[in-house]
Amino acid sequence: MATATGRDALTSRILPQMTLSKGDETSLTRPPAPASRFLKAQERAAKRFEVHGNAIVTGGAGTLGFAASKALLEHGLSGLMIFDLDPAQAEHEINELQREFPSSKISSKRVDITDGREVANAVSETASLLGSVDHLLCFAGVVGCQHAIDMTAAEWRRTLDINTTGSFLCAQACAKTMIQQGHGGSIIFVASISGHRVNFPQPQVAYNVSKSALLTLKNCLAAEWARYGIRCNSISPGYMDTILNEGEGIAEGRKIWAERNPMGRMGTPDELTGAVVFLLSNNATYINGTDLVVDGGQILF
């Protein structure tokens, strides 16, 4: 029997449709139980920003990912798995983290996030090691500053493959595990102010496109996966004071960034951790599909 091809196939296709949560007491998006009235005010305040369960942090050996990981452990995270292409670069720091938080299980794994099979295996192994995967933070990424007219196809694809496709593959693998577990979870994509505005003075079209794509990816997954109790949000950092923004070669750029920021400076890694803890905490159960810009006001102009 002949099958429809080309334009004829369009008239016989069946359109997939999203299923939204009912939001009732039987669903995974039901309202949280109220805090006990027997708790003291300080205890209620502490519980408001508690973080439960286990997290995977991609790019967790980097400055921003590591600072976020430590903050989550401070707020109650039970287990941490760091995915990185080179976790050995932070081996000493990871060991120190385990000594500081002896009751938490902390580990690292070398993972190429652009390899879907490798990601799926790493997430499965993490779930077995930690007992569950409840949170995902996508810090892994690359940046490159180059004039668009000179960019090669390979350079363009590499940036989008790591920043956008890699984040999707990690989110997809974690979501499958969260769905199997049956109690939901949360995902944070690390976008950028570069996904909202064109940077100045440096040209970086591939990076900007990859980060704006993450904002739309977050929106789509927040809509599709809410019925499973999975919240998807993003954070858009501004220029952060890390090794990526050091060196005399970009001194003029740093000067311009500071002059165009109402606060007159770059952010510190710790200034990003509040947004991370908030989005994964007990206080953010009704926040889904949101982007938090943490940039000192850089994109106001």
Residues acting as catalytic residues: 207
Q: Which of 237, 134, 115 is nearest to 187 (CA)?
A: 134
Question: Is residue 52 a contact partner of residue 134, using CB atoms and an 8 Å limit?
Answer: yes
Return the structure tokens found at 21. Answer: 């949560």
Rounded Cα gap, residues 191 and 38, in angstroms: 40
C-alpha 252/C-alpha 257 separation (Å) is 9
As given in the structure block, the two tokens for residue 26 are 């039987």
C-alpha span between 172 and 176 (Å, rounded): 6
d(CA 216, CA 164): 10
- Count other C-beta atoms under 10 Å from residue 215's C-beta: 17
Cα separation, 4 vs 25, in Å, equals: 45
Task: Sort residue 6 into left (φ over 0), alpha (ψ -120 to 50) or beta.
Answer: left
Task: Give the whole-angstrom CA distance, residue 231 versus residue 205.
Answer: 29
User: How far is 214 from 161, CA to CA, in rounded Å?
Assistant: 12
Helix orientation angle between 63-74 and 91-100, rounded to the nearest 10 degrees: 10
Q: 299: buried, middle or exposed (CB in 10 Å: 19+, 13-18, 0-12)?
A: middle
